[in-house]
Copies of this chain bind each other. A is one copy, B any other.
Amino acid sequence: MGGDHAPDAVLDGVELAAERHPQARFLLVGDEARVGPALERRKRARQACTLRHAPDVISGDMKPTAALRQGRNSSMRLAIDAVAVGEAAGVVSAGNTGALMALAKIVLKMLPGVDRPALAGLGPSSRGDVVMLDLGANVQCDARNLVEFAVMGDQFARAVLGLPSPSIGLLNVGSEELKGDERVRQAAEILRDGHVGLNFHGFVEGFDLTSGTVDVVVTDGFTGNVALKTGEGALKLVGGMLRQVFTSSIAARLGYLLARPALDRLREWMDPRRYNGAVLIGLNGVVVKSHGGTDGIGFAHAMDVAMDMVNHGFNERIREGLARISTDSGSPGASPARLAAAR
């Protein structure tokens, strides 16, 4: 029921996902009167889905606290409940992000040793896709949160990109050790310590997000959210300019036709739907947030991401990674004390 085009965009997505993953079964949670007829119209989805009625909907502008109090019979809550009891392996929602975070945190609980969930996603670079987190779940973060994000981002890159030892960069205003605020410098010091066991590259800057310098870019949710949307905005701006270029003269129109196959590949590559599906990580369960404005193609991508997480045993691996940085690991390394101080 979430997002701007529910339930149709969601069902279009399920139709595509059912085609791509013939072995999968889908539990749809929503208003039976609206979802039922829409489901009937889709051949593959109809066969792959079970529909569960939810009388309420969490609106896009509902505050997380209100969602917690009033959302007990909402589609979002019942879908998360299904993950909690093991009925579903993961949940995908295009609804209210703040409510999804709050409900998922209460119902599924955090993984041991994690302070807060983070939102992780993929973006394009000149060397393939790059993982970035946090994309906006935590507007204020301390050094400890950033270190946790690095551990979780490492596992995310292994799961979704299939990399054996992803390189991790910490976003800063410069690459020198002394740059930035106390928080990023402290996080970098902990990450440099071999104890954490990551392939830590060091500080990276804004242009490293797209230059492929590292596989995972770690930052706080404020900066990450702004960077994500700034990058999207820049790509959209160029897309608009290109449309103007290719309609500016008859010669340019003809030029467009000649270069069209390659331009179409570029358009496809720049398509934000290809990057839809941010994972709420750090939870005891797979939770994927789809962009609210996406269509079926975008929603199907978000479902692909959830499948990757599940198939990769993602949360088990994060649990192992976190154990290496936890204060009760009993290791003789200097990190635990430093981490405790960083809290």
Contacts and interface: CB of A to CB of B under 8 A. Distances in A.
A233 B209 contact: yes
Nearest to A244: B262
B230 A206 contact: yes
Interface string A229-240: 111111111101
Interface string A131-154: 000001001100000000000000
A254 B265 contact: no
A336 interface: no
Interface string A248-289: 110110111111111101100110000000000000000000
Interface stretch (A67-75, A218-226, A313-321): A218-226
Given A206-B228, A223-B223, A230-B230, A242 B266 contact: yes
A222 B234 CA distance: 19
B238 A235 contact: yes
**Chain A contact residues: over half helix, strand or loop, or mixed?**
helix
A230 B125 CA distance: 11
Nearest to A212: B237
A212 to B, nearest CB: 9
B265 A222 contact: no
A106 interface: no
Interface string A60-79: 01010000000000000000
A230 B259 contact: no
Contact of A248 (B227, B262, B269): B262
A230 B209 contact: yes
Contacts of A171: 226
Nearest to A230: B206
Contact of A207 (B140, B232, B266): B232
A266 to B, nearest CB: 5
A10 to B, nearest CB: 23
Contacts of A181: 139-140, 222
Contacts of A180: 139, 222
A223 B184 CA distance: 13
